[in-house]
Amino acid sequence: MREELNVSVGDEVIVSGRLSEKIAKVERITPTGRIRVEGQYYDKYGWEIGSDVWSRSHITYVTEEHAEKIKQRQTISKTYQLMKNYNLNNLTFDQATKIIEIFEDKEK
Kindly report the three-state secondary structure assignment for every residue of 43-98.
Answer: CCCCEECCCCCCCCCEEEECCHHHHHHHHHHHHHHHHHHHHHHCCHHHCCHHHHHH
Instruction: Residue 39: give the domain boundaries.
Output: 12-62
Give the per-residue pLDDT at 60: 93
Asked whether residue 19 falls in the same domain as residue 53, the answer is yes
Q: Is 36 within 8 Å of 29 (Cβ atoms)?
A: yes
Give the per-residue pLDDT at 20: 85
Q: Above 80 in pLDDT, residue 51?
A: no
Asked whether residue 54 falls in the same domain as residue 20, the answer is yes
Strand partners, 37: 26, 40
Length of the chain: 108
Mean pLDDT of 84-97: 88
Higher pLDDT, 5 or 53: 5
Q: Above 90 in pLDDT, residue 17?
A: no
Q: How far apart are CA 19 and CA 17, in angstroms?
A: 6
Reported pTM: 0.70
Task: Give backbone dihedrals phi and psi of 97, rounded to 5 degrees, phi first.
Answer: -60, -45
Residue 5 domain-assigned? no
Give the per-residue pLDDT at 45: 94
Asked whether residue 16 falls in the same domain as residue 52, the answer is yes
Residue 17 domain-assigned? yes
Higher pLDDT, 65 or 19: 65
Rounded to the nearest 10°, the torsion over CA 44, 57, 49, 36 is: 60
Give the per-residue pLDDT at 33: 92
